[in-house]
Every structure is written in structure tokens, then in C-alpha cells.
Structure 1
């Protein structure tokens, strides 16, 4: 039977595929596809794990004291019976053989299927046996995680298409930003999560991957079953489960239309972004990994406006990348960009991007009452000088291969600015003493905290350029945790206070003759293109996939007319209503007539 699930639209487009559920578990489960040649080895891993658990349970039975209650013995017998159930074992192996899931994923997927069967049983005693099944499955999962259990395949190969013939969509309670990166170029054509906000980092990475996504869909992972056909309408925030043939064909037609439009926009790749009145606009790319530079060039980017270096630090079981590894990554990004500038942001760890292990000053993310306000970004870097200097050395060395700009996140205090420049001076001196080739870099500051925007004259005296991170700026200005569902509706880029901070920062940077860009989500949102142009912004940085649509909007805009439009938006009590009324077609409506009156003036 077809059903609809509603959530928050976070990444546009349409995805159609079979559901792949990442089941919740009390222990971490690795999810990756294996090479077909490794199927026998993965099945062998599963069998060895079952044999190991069987031995553990038999040992427990043997070691029971003579006066032990018979219920305990019966419980162990039930667990052994479930463990040796050949139907359950064969069904688990089928996930490995047919879908090329790794053994842990196969076990978790089959557990999800059987657990639902238990839930539907009328007999209360049988329903309660689900807990026994879960305990046995988790024992097997722990055994699979034991390095002594065969030759475990640890490399995640999600970017390789071993998922079968049908397209797949991922369904989970939640997905971390680091895990999202596993899906680049993978078999997943879209994803759905039960939790999450429209501007959480998970949602942002989804947009950067340019795949349709819906978050905050509440009970999606409970209502959707393994292998269900699912449609994700990323524009409406709608998930259709087991659609009718008519609905399926309608959405396939929409998919084809979207693809045709994207192909049309790619023709703008080599066309300069110039407004109708001759204003040149710089379009840069946000990237997470060095190889993303290929997509940046393909999208027509004029450089990298934000290289999020923290993603080099994730999914590493707590082992931080050393200087050589970082240097090679930054060098690769610089080389790929073929002489175009690359802006590398120093590691922005914390909040919803924690590491597995946080240096000598360990960041206990799960125990931090308000991680967004805690030890993160430059605060963490300055708390661990050795780690920070390793990153700075790697960046300066990479600068010998091409133009590099250094961007420092979440600065608020003059003391932090001075400490950052002191660290740079020490690193330069070290490299010179060691005769290691390195280059000079422009140094910029992220403006993502209201304190930075309000003390812009100090920042402009020290830095060569500034870049506005609108995601965090909105979060901190409005005191809204953008990853928190309960307050996500209050996260408002159109809020007058947010727009005033952005406008003032742009104005002051221009007055000081310093470079200014926006690298947050607003830069890649066509809803804000005209407003930012009208405020004087001439440098946008966004995911490569967003560049063509933004370029098209710029080519159709007249910056002189947009100044009046921006003034109307800025003077309104409700900027959103004014912005949406006149932003279409380059603000052809007389913006001067759109200024709203206060209730007193209207009276």
C-alpha cells in the first residue's frame, strides 16, 4: 500500500530507488559495499563470528553454577537456537551475495526485517523474543568487529557501484556529516532521515553532494521497509513509499526534466558572470576533499572559496593526519585548480562535527551541554598548538605550488587574532630554518559570530580579506541551534538582524579596500542572489553544482536596480515578504514602493 511521509526539504530534485535502511543499534555498525570477489571472504567472516559467539554461549552454559536458575539456562538455549537458525543465516548471507553489503551491514539489515516480523506477532511471548534476537545479533556484530575474527575488510568502498541493478536511497534515523561524505559518487541517489534541521551540517553536506534529501521525517525509518520503492521529492519535502505506477511515471518524467535543465545550464560553464550593467562577479567553489576540485572546475568555478579541511580529520578512529598527509592533500587541491586560488580554512572541529578523539585537550562532544558554543574551530586549534602548527606548516608548504589563501574560523577576540598571527610567524621561521620550500598566503577571517561583525574595523586592520559564514552567523545571531528540530523553524536568513550584520560587513570591507565573500548557504541559494548583489557583494562561494543556476541569475540581473531593491528589503520590518515579492526577474518592480509602513504610519 502506498503512503506519504513528510519532512523538511533540504536538497532539491527527485530521487527514485529501493530503500536501504541503516538500522539503529546500541553499537556502531560499519556500512559499506564490498567487491564481488570478496563475497566469499565476507560470508566466511560472518560464519566465523557466529562460531565465536556460539563458543561464548556454550562456555557460559558450561560455567553456570549447579544452583543456577533454570531460566538462565533456558535463555542461553534460546540464544543458541536463534544463532543456529539456518533460515536467519541464509537470509543474512543473501544481503552479502545479492547487494554486496559488508557482513555487519547484512546482519543489521536482516535484524531490521526480522524485528518487524516479531513486532507484528499476536502472541505476547513471541513478541518479547525480539529482545533475545537483538542481543544475539549484537553479540555477532561485536565478534565481527574483533580484528582476530578473520581478515576483516576495513576499507569503505561506498563510491563503487556494487549495490545491484536498482537505484538505492538511504533511510536512517540520522547520518553524521562525516558519514555523508562516504556517499560521494556512491550508489545512493538520495537519503531520508527521521531527525535533523534544514540547516544542520548533515543537510548542508547533502546539498553539497547535490542529491535529493528529506530530513526530519519523524517515523520514516519505522514506516519504510527494506527494499520498498521510494520517491524522494526534495523540493516539497515529501517521501512517497511504494508509489503507484502512475505516480512513479510522473516523477520519472520530472527527473528527466531536471536533467535537461541541468544540461542546459552547463553551457554557461565558460561564460563570465557579469551583470546586465557590466558588474563582474566572482563565483568560487566550496569543497571538502582535494578531489572535489575536479567538480569545481567542471562547474565553472574561478577558484576555491572554502576548502573545509576538517573532513581530512574525520573517520580516522581518532588518528589525526600528520604534516605530510595534510601537505599532500592541500598540494593536490592546489594542483587540480590549475593556478586558480584555493582558500583553505583551518580545521573547524566541534559542534556537530566532532572528532573521534580530540587532541590532548579532548573535546567530549557527547558531554558538552552546548557544543556550538564550546571548544571548536580556532579555539580548539589554539588550545593544541602542536596540532595547529602542523596544519599551518602543511598549508604554507602547499602554497609553494600555487596561490593559497588561509581562512581562520570563528574568531571573536583580538587575543585570538594575535595568537593566530604569532603561530604563523613561528611556522614561517621554522620552515625557513629547515630550508623547506613554502609560499606566502593571504590571510582571511571568517565572520560567523556577531562579535566579529560588530568589531569589523579591528579585523580589517589585521586581515587581507574576510568571508561571511552565514550558517553560523544566523545561528549565533538568533540563538538557534540549527541542528535542533524543535527550534529549526526559527532559523531565519531573512531576519533583519542577520541582514544588517551581513550588509554592514560588506560595506565596511569595501570601504577598507579588502576582499569580501560569502561562503555560507546563502551564497548558493538563488533566493538571495539579487539581495547580495544589491548589497554590493561581488564574490560568492558555493558547492560546484550550484554555480550554474547562480550564474544564470547574475547574468539576468541589473546591479544598479538591485541597489534600490536591497534598500527596500533592509528598511522593511518583514524583509522576507519584500524580498520574495521583488527578487524575481532582477527586481523589475519599483523597489521604492515596496517599503512597508509601520502600524502607526498605516493608521
Structure 2
């Protein structure tokens, strides 16, 4: 039976494939593919975990006090029986051998299948055995964690061969940033999550992967089953499960049309971004890993406007990268960009991106309080001065190989600026004393909270440029958790207060002769291109996949006509509708001749 699930569209296009479910668990589960040569090792890990849990349960049963109720011993018998169930073991091995899942993923995937079977049973007693299965699975997962996990670098090699002939789409309650990095170059052609908002981390990475995605789909992971055929409509936020042949063919037609449009836009990648009235616009790329730099070059970016370095710190089992390792990563990006500028943001840890090295108490703090208002970004870096000094030294050393700008996240207080500038000064002197070459590094600040906008005149006494992080700026201005689908409808980039803060930042930077760019999601959203141009913005930073579409809008824009429309839009109660009407009045339709 075909059903539809509705969520929030966060990455455009259509994906069609068989569902791969990532089941949620009270125990953290690593999800990665293993090459065929290492599937037997995963099966051996699973057997060792089973034997360890069996030994634990047998010891518990042997040591039961004489006054213990007989039901307790019977319960342990049930758990031991589940552990040694041959059919269950074969099903788990199927996921490893056929789908190339790691042991933890295979175990949680089969739990999802079995749990659904229990839910559909009519007998209340049998339905209750689902809890026994969950408890046994969690014991196995803990045993696997104790046994140790092979390094991701040795096993995480997703390949088209793992998926067989059918394309795959990922379905999950949520996807952690660490898992998103793992899936970034995987076989998945799209994904769906139960939770999340349009600017949640999951959504941002989906756009950087340039694959269709729907988040905040509530019951998706419960309604969709393993291997169901799924259509993800990233334009409208609709997920179609087991579509009819007619619906499937319609979406396949849309896929082909989308591919043709992408190919057409791709021909613009080497065309200079000049408006109709001759204004040069800088289109930069946001990247997360050194390997992303080549995609920026291929997309025609004129530099990297945001290198999110926190992803260098993830998927490492809590071990921070050394100064040397960071230096090599930054130098690699600079050399790939071949003389084009690279803006490196210092680590933005906290909120939805905690580190594995955080203690259980710190992680509980992250999730039980409001992490967006806690120890994150520059606050976290200043609280870890040894780590921060290492990162600054690595960035300064890499500046000898090309143009680097250093960007500080979530700066609010002048004392934070003074502390950071002192750290940079000391790091520079340490490197010079050791004979290292250092380039001329500009230092800038992310504008992410309203207080930073109000402090701009003071900021510009210390900083060479600013970059507007619209995702957090909207979140903090409107008091909206941008990852919470329950309030996602209130997250509004068109809110008059948000637009005024952005316009004020651009105007203040121009007044002081400082550089200003937008690196948040608004920069890559075509709905805002002309508005930002009319505000005076000339530097946009976005995911490489978005550059061609934004360039097309730039080439068709006349900033002289847009300025007066922007002034009136900023005074309107409903800026979005006013802007649309104003553009209809003042803009001529201009078709540019694309190079064929």
C-alpha cells in the first residue's frame, strides 16, 4: 500500500530508492559500511559479543540468591534463548554479508525488523517479549563497544558495489553530525529524518551533499520499513512510500528534468559573477573537510568563505587532532585553492556538535539544558586554551602557503576579543621564534547574535572583516531552536527584525571600510539573492552545489533598481510579500544567454 509522509523540504530534487533504516537506540550505534574482505571480521566481533553476553547472563543466573523469584531465572533463560537463536543470528549476518553493514548497524537493523513483528502480534504476552529483545540487543551493543571498533579509516569505504543495483535512501529518527560525515560520500541518494528543521545540522549537510532530503517527518522511521521503495521530494517535503507505477514514473521524469537543469547551470561555472550594472560579486564556498576544497574549485568558487574546522575533531573517539595534523589539513585546502583566499573558522563545538571526548556528565549537560546558550564556539575554545593555541598555530603556519583569513565564531564580548587577540599574538611570536614563515592573516568575527550587530563599531576596532551567520542570527533573534521541528514554522528569515539586523551589519561594514559576507543558508537560497544584493552585499559563501544557481540570479540582477525596493521592504510589516510585489514592479525580465 502506498502512503505519503510530510515533512520539511531542506534540499531540492527528487531521490528514488530502497529504504535503509537507521534504528534509534538508547546505546550509541556506529553506522558504516565495511568492504567484503572485512565482513568476516565483523561476524567474529558479533560472535565474541554474543559469547560475552551469554557468559554474563549465565553468571547472573548462577549467582541468583535463593530468595529470588523464579520469574527472574525464567527471564534470564528467555534472554539466553534469544542470544542463541539461529534464525536471528542468520538474519543479522545477512545485513553484514549482503549489505556490508558493520556489526552494530546490522544488529540494530534486525532489531527494527523484529520489533515491528512483535508490535503486530495479537497476543499481549508475545507483544511484551519485544522488551526482552531490546534488552538483549543493548547488551550486545555494549559488548561490541567493549570489544572495540575498527578504525573508521580502515573500514568506512562506501562503494556502489555495496548497494547492488538498486539506489538507496536513508531513513532515521535523526542523524548525528558524526554519522553525516560518514555518509557524506556513501551510496545514499537522499534521506529522511523524523526530527530537525530547515537549518538543523542534518539539513545543512544534506545541501552540502547536494542530495534531496526531508526532515521533521515525525513518524517516517516508524512507517517506513527496510527495503520499501521510497520517493523523496525535496522540493515539496513529501515522502512517498511504495509509490504506484504512475507516480513513480512521474517522479523519474522530474529527476531527469532536474539533471538537465543542473547540467545547464554547470556551464556557468567559469563565467564571472557580474550584475547587469557591472557590480562584481564574490561567490565563495563553504566546506567541512579538506577533501571538499576540490568541489569548490570545480564549482567555480573564487575562494573558501567558510571552512568549518570542527569536523576535523569528530569521529575520532575523543582524541583531538594534533597541531601537525591540523596544519596539514589547512595547508591541503590552501594549496588546492591555488592562491584563492581561504577563510578558516576556529572550532565551533557545542550545541548540536558535541565532541566524543566530553564526559557523560558534560553530554547530559549538553542535552538537558539549552546547549545553544551554553559553552560553545569561542567560549569553548577559550575554556580550552591549550587546544585553541594549537589550532591558531596550525592556521598561522598554513598561511605561509596561501591567503588565509581567520574567523572567530559567536563573538559577543570585547573581553573575548582581547583574550583571542592575545592568544593569536603569542602564537605568532612562538612560531616566529622557531623560524616558521607566516603570511599576513586577516582576523574576522562571525555575526550570529543581535548583540554582535549592536557592538559592530567596537568590533571594527579589532577585526578586518565580518561574516554573517544567518542560521544562528535568526535563531537567537527569534528565540527559536532551529533544530526543533515543533517550532520550525516560526523560524523565519523574512522576519523584519532579522532583515534589519543583516542590512545594518552590511551598512556598518561599508561605513568602516571593512569586508562583509554572508555564509549562512540565506547566501545559497535564490529567494534572497536580489534582496542581499540590494542591501549592498557583494560576497556570498555557500555550498559548492549552490554556486551555479546563485550565479544565474546575480547575472540577471540590476543592483541600481534593487536598492530602492530594499529600502521600502525593510519598512514593511510583511517583507516577503512586499519584496515579491516590488520586484515585479521594478525588475525587467532578463534572459541571459548560457554558453552551450
TM-score (norm 1): 0.94
Cα 1:512–1:220 shift into 2, 3 Å: same
CA shift, 1:390, in A, is: 0.7
CA shift, 1:380, in A, is: 1.3
Checking the alignment, whether the CA contact within 8 Å between 1:354 and 1:365 is kept in structure 2 is no
CA shift, 1:210, in A, is: 1.2
SS in 2 for 1:146: helix
CA shift, 1:368, in A, is: 5.2
The answer to whether 1:544 aligns with 2:552 is no
Structure 1 residue runs of 5 or longer lacking an equivalent are: 590-603
The answer to whether 1:106 aligns with 2:115 is no
* Residue in 2 that maps onto 1:520: 520
Counterpart CA distance in 2 for 1:316 and 1:78 is: 37
SS in 2 for 1:72: helix
Counterpart CA distance in 2 for 1:166 and 1:468 is: 41
Cα 1:152–1:476 shift into 2, 3 Å: closer
CA deviation map 1:416-446 (0-9, x unaligned): 1111111111111111111123222011111
After TM superposition, the structure 1 = structure 2 runs for residues 323-402 of structure 1, keeping only pairs within 5 Å, are 323-358=323-358, 365-366=365-366, 369-402=369-402
TM-score (norm 2): 0.95
The answer to whether 1:445 aligns with 2:420 is no
SS in 2 for 1:462: coil
Checking the alignment, whether the CA contact within 8 Å between 1:18 and 1:230 is kept in structure 2 is yes
Checking the alignment, whether the CA contact within 8 Å between 1:531 and 1:583 is kept in structure 2 is no
Counterpart CA distance in 2 for 1:530 and 1:153 is: 46
The answer to whether 1:230 aligns with 2:235 is no
Checking the alignment, whether the CA contact within 8 Å between 2:35 and 2:157 is kept in structure 1 is no
The answer to whether 1:142 aligns with 2:142 is yes
Checking the alignment, whether the CA contact within 8 Å between 2:351 and 2:366 is kept in structure 1 is no
* Residue in 2 that maps onto 1:534: 534
After TM superposition, the structure 1 = structure 2 runs for residues 557-572 of structure 1, keeping only pairs within 5 Å, are 557-572=557-572
After TM superposition, the structure 1 = structure 2 runs for residues 37-186 of structure 1, keeping only pairs within 5 Å, are 37-147=37-147, 152=150, 154-155=152-153, 157=156, 159-161=158-160, 162-186=162-186
Checking the alignment, whether the CA contact within 8 Å between 1:556 and 1:585 is kept in structure 2 is no
Counterpart CA distance in 2 for 1:75 and 1:339 is: 67
CA shift, 1:568, in A, is: 2.5
CA deviation map 1:104-152 (0-9, x unaligned): 111111111011111111111111111111111222222222227xx85
Checking the alignment, whether the CA contact within 8 Å between 2:19 and 2:230 is kept in structure 1 is yes
CA shift, 1:586, in A, is: 7.8
CA shift, 1:459, in A, is: 1.4
Counterpart CA distance in 2 for 1:144 and 1:412 is: 44
Counterpart CA distance in 2 for 1:69 and 1:190 is: 51
CA deviation map 1:178-222 (0-9, x unaligned): 321212121111111111111212211211211111111111111
Checking the alignment, whether the CA contact within 8 Å between 1:5 and 1:240 is kept in structure 2 is yes
* Residue in 1 that maps onto 2:593: none
Checking the alignment, whether the CA contact within 8 Å between 1:326 and 1:391 is kept in structure 2 is yes
Counterpart CA distance in 2 for 1:211 and 1:337 is: 24
CA deviation map 1:500-558 (0-9, x unaligned): 11111111211222111111111000000000011111110000000000000111111
CA shift, 1:70, in A, is: 2.0
CA shift, 1:153, in A, is: 6.0
* Residue in 2 that maps onto 1:307: 307
Checking the alignment, whether the CA contact within 8 Å between 1:527 and 1:583 is kept in structure 2 is no
* Residue in 2 that maps onto 1:601: none
Checking the alignment, whether the CA contact within 8 Å between 1:158 and 1:187 is kept in structure 2 is no
The answer to whether 1:292 aligns with 2:305 is no
Checking the alignment, whether the CA contact within 8 Å between 2:285 and 2:304 is kept in structure 1 is yes
Counterpart CA distance in 2 for 1:434 and 1:364 is: 42
* Residue in 2 that maps onto 1:34: 34
Cα 1:171–1:403 shift into 2, 3 Å: same
SS in 1 for 2:466: strand
SS in 1 for 2:526: coil
Checking the alignment, whether the CA contact within 8 Å between 2:30 and 2:179 is kept in structure 1 is no
Deviates more, 1:515-524 or 1:39-48: 39-48
CA shift, 1:45, in A, is: 2.0
After TM superposition, the structure 1 = structure 2 runs for residues 156-305 of structure 1, keeping only pairs within 5 Å, are 157=156, 159-161=158-160, 162-305=162-305
Checking the alignment, whether the CA contact within 8 Å between 1:494 and 1:576 is kept in structure 2 is yes
CA shift, 1:357, in A, is: 2.6
Counterpart CA distance in 2 for 1:202 and 1:394 is: 28
Instruction: State the superposition RMSD in angstroms.
Output: 1.8
CA shift, 1:44, in A, is: 2.2
User: Aligned pairs, how many?
Assistant: 586
SS in 1 for 2:467: strand
Cα 1:313–1:71 shift into 2, 3 Å: same
Counterpart CA distance in 2 for 1:154 and 1:264 is: 37
SS in 1 for 2:289: coil
* Residue in 1 that maps onto 2:594: none
Counterpart CA distance in 1 for 2:151 and 2:418 is: 46
Structure 2 residue runs of 5 or longer lacking an equivalent are: 590-596
